[in-house]
Amino acid sequence: MIRSLLHIGIVVPDLEVGRAFYELFGLHATASGRDLVFRCPGRDQDQVRLMPGEKKKLAYAAFGTNETGMAELKRRLEKAAVPVVAAPFDVPFGGIWFQDPHADWINVQVAEPAPTLSVLPPEVNAHGRYRRVGRACDPSTRNKKAVPLRLGHLIKFSPDVNVSVDFYTDVLGLRMSDRCMDILAFLHGSAGGDHHLVAFAKSSHTGLHHISFEVSDLDQIEIGAQTLLSAGYKDGFGLGRHVGGSNYFHYIRDPWGSLAEYFWDIDVIPEDDSDWVPLNVPPEEVTAVWASSPPPEDFVVNFEEP
């Protein structure tokens, strides 16, 4: 049923602090009532909604499906005795609202992701395949900016990863990509696509671990990260390349302790995923093929209050 991740909502104590971070990250902000919404440049789809509140908290995740998927989702929610309720937030979009087993809010809409700017990376000269002729970088390359193309995935903390996996697969129709026993699990959409659009990491309580945005090449990952680091934001983890998803990554801490990731070159799983064999290994075996440094101890710390 669930085919895509549309956007997420986060409650924060200071919208302007959030604006400064996400605009420097590369997103564009506009006001929406009392909230701030952020979009990728040139893409007509909200990606992050910041809502004012006393404490920072992941408020909800909004997913997309089609008409057939919505009908099946409603059937499964009724069978699982999960109530569909009125919108718990003052937001300008429709869809249905319900809570997962750990009381996190979910919104599902009949919607397809907006088209993404067609930005192909420059050709890469590899041995036996020299396609780029001429200079790749000149002094002006130092002025290059990170341009996020789309929100790729959301990683949430969960007090019971197995319970979360059962609900999001059995009721919402997501599918297993890889897992690390009861510590970490990556799920992809019912129509295939990115290696994961949502994942769960074990913690004492729910919360936001990270959101991740695709960029068009490796340069933009590191230029984006270095721009944020130069402005005083805290490094998270990277540069590196994951095993789970195979994507290159760099994480930066947002002002409230969660992580924002730039990624490039993620695995794609087909809709017929019968040939895909999920891994089930210890977390350290999916964290990174390589990285500029080991993951810091706080990489898996949940900074949201219970």
pLDDT tens-digit map of 212-242? 999 999 999 999 999 999 999 999 999 999 9
The residue ranges of DSSP E strands in 111-203, in sequence order, are: 150-158, 175-180, 184-188, 193-194, 198-202
Contacts of 177 (CB under 8 A, 6+ apart): 186, 187, 188, 195, 196, 244, 245, 269, 276, 278
- Section 57-82 average pLDDT: 98
Say if residue 77's pLDDT is above 80.
Answer: yes
- Section 263-269 average pLDDT: 98
Q: What percent of the chain has pLDDT over 90?
A: 92
Strand ranges across the sheet with 105-110: 28-32, 35-39, 48-52, 4-12, 57-65, 105-110, 96-99
Q: SS3 for 143? A: helix
pLDDT of residue 197: 97
Burial of 85 (0-12, 13-18, 19+ CB in 10 A): exposed
Asked if 46 contacts 111 with a C-beta cutoff of 8 angstroms, the reply is no
- Section 184-205 average pLDDT: 98
- Section 8-35 average pLDDT: 98
Which contiguous run of DSSP H or E holds residue 236? strand 235-241
Integer-rounded Cα radius of gyration of the chain: 19
**What does DSSP assign to residue 227?**
H
Say if residue 142's pLDDT is above 90.
Answer: no
Say if residue 143's pLDDT is above 90.
Answer: no
Task: pLDDT band for 117, please (50, 70, 90 cuts).
Answer: confident
CA torsion 251-248-29-228 (nearest 10°) is 40
